[in-house]
Amino acid sequence: MSDTAVAARPNRLAELMATKPVLLADGATGTNLFNMGLTSGDAPELWNEIHPDRIRALHQSFVDAGADIILTNSFGCNRRRLMLHDLQARTRELNRMAAENARAVADAAGRPVIVAGSVGPTGDLFEPLGPMTETEAVDVFKEQIEGLIDGGIDVVWIETMSAPEEMRAAAAAAQALGMPYTITGSFDTAGRTMMGLPPQGMPDLAHALHPAPVAIGANCGVGASDTLVSVGTMTAADPDLIVISKANCGIPQVDGDQVKYTGTPELMGRYAKLAIDSGVRIIGGCCGTSPTHLAAMRHAIDTHTRGDRPTFEAIVADVGPLQSPPPAATEGEGRERRNRRRG
């Protein structure tokens, strides 16, 4: 496939966004695959070949719940992470299979469904903290994205990123291949990513990229409240940007040999409404989000009229306290408590 042919691909995500005020992205891949038989230490990406029926069934369950966007089972399908399973030589092939599985479900949906090629981090630290350079990372991501293009993705979905260098590298790979792309970071460390990027840094990063991402945002992290604060910071910083919110379904809790998430469908429905009020245009769920949760979010999106931007206090009251709050939020919560006592 030539770069010219790739560059000519329509931006189907932007086209769909022009027809709807808010889009629903899908739920969790990994946690739902564990419920379907994946075991710790297995390579989820290999299921694209050995259990395509299960992968397609998961995609179908999200489409049935109302998803407008489904993510390929390719989060860790870059050669650096596949080396852990001695599968690095099959990088492009496994990405192609991941995209083909999602494409088959999307094409049979009877309505527009976007296939987003999930691109997660390499797992390596960047110079000077680790061995990876931006140039090397661009090459790693290009190989992965080429496989996803072979399988028919509509957009490159760069997600769960922590380092600005890695975001730029993945974006550069998508740009080099003529693909529209999105970027979301994981703001799980006192309101910042693990590598120190604050949510307000995302709009700045987006404006420095050419061509710019279709959308930016936050995913995963430590809970719905934390994610809402992060994406609200982004929409306040630049109301013209399209922002993605893909929060975890509550908080993980260990139950024997299983990890369960505390979020109910009702909670995720409230989260979706608060995300709309915050100015978010693409809403989905990350770890722990099942098709049942997603259906509740679909209903919330379809029935909610956007209201005023929620305050920090409103978010906490509706979906629970922050799990890893930034210092400013902690101080603000303390002042609010003191004011209530004085009142």
Please tell me the total count of domains within the chain: 1
249 annotated ligand-binding residue = no
Is residue 59 left, alpha or beta, with left meaning phi > 0 and alpha meaning psi from -120 to 50?
alpha
Q: What is the pLDDT along the chain (343 residues), one digit of tens a residue?
A: 334 334 547 899 999 999 999 999 999 999 999 999 999 889 999 999 999 999 999 999 999 999 999 999 999 999 999 999 999 999 999 999 999 999 999 999 999 999 999 999 999 999 999 999 999 999 999 999 999 999 999 999 999 999 999 999 999 999 999 999 999 999 999 999 999 999 999 999 999 999 999 999 999 999 999 999 999 999 999 999 999 999 999 888 877 777 889 999 999 999 999 999 999 999 999 999 999 999 999 999 999 999 999 999 999 999 999 999 987 654 444 444 434 333 3
Instruction: Give residue 93's domain range.
Output: 3-342
CATH of the domain at 246: 3.20.20.330
286 annotated ligand-binding residue = yes
The reported pTM is: 0.93
77 annotated ligand-binding residue = no
Letter for the amino acid at 214?
A: V
Query: Which residues are 299's β-sheet partners?
Result: none
Q: Please, are residues 94 and 49 in contact by the beta-carbon 8 Å criterion?
A: yes
